[in-house]
């Protein structure tokens, strides 16, 4: 499991580690990891030109100490000091290794091979001062390596408020930070490389946000036992589609009929049911289920779909049109809105949700007393207890009509197979994104191809090939 912690968590764990270690040991570990990552990016050190943007705190100290290591490997290292004072020992080490520093950007090599962002660290407030903005603009187009987090982002909230660094690579220390996983700030991080500082998990405490990894999904995936039959494996029901949107029912059923349950039932208009049976002859009609999927393409019938599913007292995935009819608390349910749908549910503007999806996912989970999955670049899954998982699988091609219908069906299957709502939503989202990545092959994608890929992806994941 990839775990991200808050600034307070990290500060507490670092203080505990520093009490056990020689003075300066944590910074040296961070600097060594940062220097190694820069060398890897550049393909070596000799003859490379490195520019450090150095702020006043320990973040700037990490950059200076790393610069000293890079200078010792033959790199030409310059530091632009963006404050009245810099980390004293790090500054001295850089100068002793042959590097140079200045407060005047005109003195710098105008064509560095890489810029190292050591402006502010996890304690910085969102936004950047004008001198830092000017320095970044001066070297626009040069690859940027951020130290710990891109300077200027909201570290704990994952939001963006004002100017900030957009890194190609972020080298973070000890643990991931919330901003590395949560939109929109995660888009500023680029690739994220974690350097182990030896922080104690007990000192860090529970993570603020998690991200499933293949081993976690493999552990959580339901699989049939030797005496299983179609009913013990779970039955998922789908109430979706209308004469206007019959395809939504087909796609939701395709997601549900991925092989993770023993049976799929479909309930809907006769003409849609005929199309579903033609495409999926194994799908049967109404009856007892362990979970319902309601809403995709439901149109004017969505309210009745929600009421019928609610009367069965089983877990429910509510998507699309069904979300308009979720009023009050819905324990045991999974709601799957995109930003616009969640905004409508909370009485907000879409832009407000997109600017702070973590805040609003948590708010919605508390308000509706159920798991809420907010779709996005990094989809978030929040439960009423405060847990949050971010999905880091997927490709931009997944932003295509019908993909959400497949996701709803897939989550419903995982619920029916016995996963709790939080695990079903987060595993379903991970599989959905990973299946899209495999099916896309870096090219255009349709929702049906995502559904077709899910069984193969599950096979590969169970075999440890993911």
Architecture per CATH, 214-462:
3-Layer(aba) Sandwich (3.40)
**Do the Cβ atoms of 149 and 170 come closer than 8 Å?**
yes
Distance set, CA 300 to CA 208, 258, 281, 289, 324 (Å): 39, 28, 27, 24, 11
pLDDT digits (tens, 9 = 90+) for 218-258: 999 999 999 999 999 999 999 999 999 999 999 999 999 99
Average pLDDT over residues 372-381: 98
Tell whether the torsion through CA atoms of 311, 312, 313 and 315 is positive or negative: negative
Q: Boundaries of CATH 3.40.50.10260 in the chain? A: 2-211
Look at residue 415 and tell me whether its pLDDT is greater than 70: yes
Architecture per CATH, 2-211:
3-Layer(aba) Sandwich (3.40)
- Average pLDDT across the chain, whole number: 97
**Rounded Cα distance, 56 and 103, in Å:** 13
Q: Boundaries of CATH 3.40.1190.20 in the chain? A: 214-462
Whole-number percent of the chain with pLDDT over 70: 100
Look at residue 203 and tell me whether its pLDDT is greater than 70: yes
Look at residue 320 and tell me whether its pLDDT is greater than 70: yes
Give residue 59's pLDDT.
94
Average pLDDT over residues 279-305: 97
Across 130-201, the runs of DSSP E, i.e. the strands, are 144-147, 169-173, 176-177, 191-195
CA 21 from chain center: how many Å?
Answer: 33
pLDDT digits (tens, 9 = 90+) for 421-446: 999 999 999 999 999 999 999 999 99
pLDDT digits (tens, 9 = 90+) for 104-149: 999 999 999 999 999 999 988 999 999 999 999 999 999 999 999 9
Give residue 327's pLDDT.
87
**Rounded Cα distance, 359 and 375, in Å:** 14
pLDDT digits (tens, 9 = 90+) for 323-338: 999 988 999 999 999 9
Which tokens is 127 given?
A: 């936004």
Across 30-111, the runs of DSSP E, i.e. the strands, are 49-54, 76-81, 100-102
pLDDT digits (tens, 9 = 90+) for 2-50: 999 999 999 999 999 999 999 999 999 999 999 999 999 999 999 999 9
Give residue 466's pLDDT.
60
Burial 329-368 (b: 16+ CB within 10 A, else e): ebeebbbbbbbebbbebbebeeebbbbbbbebbbbbbbbb
pLDDT digits (tens, 9 = 90+) for 37-93: 999 999 999 999 999 999 999 999 999 999 999 999 999 999 999 999 999 999 999
Average pLDDT over residues 407-419: 98
């Amino acid at each position: 499991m990839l775990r991200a912690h808050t600034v307070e968590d990290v500060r507490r764990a670092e203080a505990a580690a520093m009490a056990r270690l020689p003075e300066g040991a944590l910074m040296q570990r961070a600097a060594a990891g940062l220097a190694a990552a820069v060398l890897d990016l550049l393909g070596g050190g000799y003859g490379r030109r490195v520019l450090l943007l150095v702020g006043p705190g320990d973040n700037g100290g990490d950059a200076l100490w790393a610069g000293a290591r890079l200078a010792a490997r033959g790199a030409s290292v310059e530091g632009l000091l963006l404050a009245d004072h810099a980390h004293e020992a790090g500054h001295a080490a850089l100068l002793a290794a042959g590097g140079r520093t200045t407060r005047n950007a005109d003195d710098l090599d105008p064509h560095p091979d890489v810029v190292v962002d050591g402006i502010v660290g996890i304690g910085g407030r969102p936004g950047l001062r004008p001198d830092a903005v000017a320095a970044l603009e001066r070297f626009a187009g040069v690859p940027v390596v951020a130290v710990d987090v891109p300077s200027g982002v909201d570290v704990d909230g994952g939001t963006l408020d004002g100017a900030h660094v957009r890194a190609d690579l972020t080298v973070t220390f000890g643990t991931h930070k919330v901003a590395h996983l949560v939109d929109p700030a995660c888009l500023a991080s680029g690739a994220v490389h974690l350097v182990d500082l030896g922080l104690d998990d007990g000192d860090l405490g529970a993570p603020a946000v998690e991200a499933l990894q293949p081993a976690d999904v493999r552990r959580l995936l339901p699989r049939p036992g030797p005496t299983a039959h179609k009913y013990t494996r779970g039955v998922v029901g789908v109430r979706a589609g209308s004469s206007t949107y019959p395809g939504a029912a087909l796609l939701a059923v395709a997601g549900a009929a991925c092989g993770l349950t023993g049976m799929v039932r479909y309930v809907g208009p006769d003409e849609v049911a005929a199309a579903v049976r033609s495409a999926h002859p194994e799908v049967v009609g109404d009856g007892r289920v362990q979970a319902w999927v309601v809403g995709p393409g439901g149109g004017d019938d969505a309210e009745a779909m929600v009421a019928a599913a609610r009367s069965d007292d089983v877990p429910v995935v509510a998507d699309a049109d069904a979300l308009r009819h979720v009023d009050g608390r819905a324990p045991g349910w999974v709601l799957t809105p995109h930003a616009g749908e969640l905004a409508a549910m909370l009485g907000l503007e879409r832009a407000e949700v997109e600017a702070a999806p973590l805040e609003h996912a948590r708010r919605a989970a508390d308000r509706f007393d159920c798991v809420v999955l907010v779709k996005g670049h990094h989809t978030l899954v929040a439960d009423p207890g405060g847990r949050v998982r971010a999905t880091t699988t997927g490709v931009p091609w997944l932003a295509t009509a019908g993909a959400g219908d497949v996701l709803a069906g897939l989550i419903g299957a995982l619920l029916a197979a016995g996963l709790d709502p939080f695990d079903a939503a987060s595993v379903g989202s991970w599989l959905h994104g990973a299946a899209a990545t495999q099916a896309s092959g870096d090219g255009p994608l349709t929702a049906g191809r995502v559904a077709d890929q899910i069984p193969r992806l599950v096979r590969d994941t169970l075999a440890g090939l993911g």
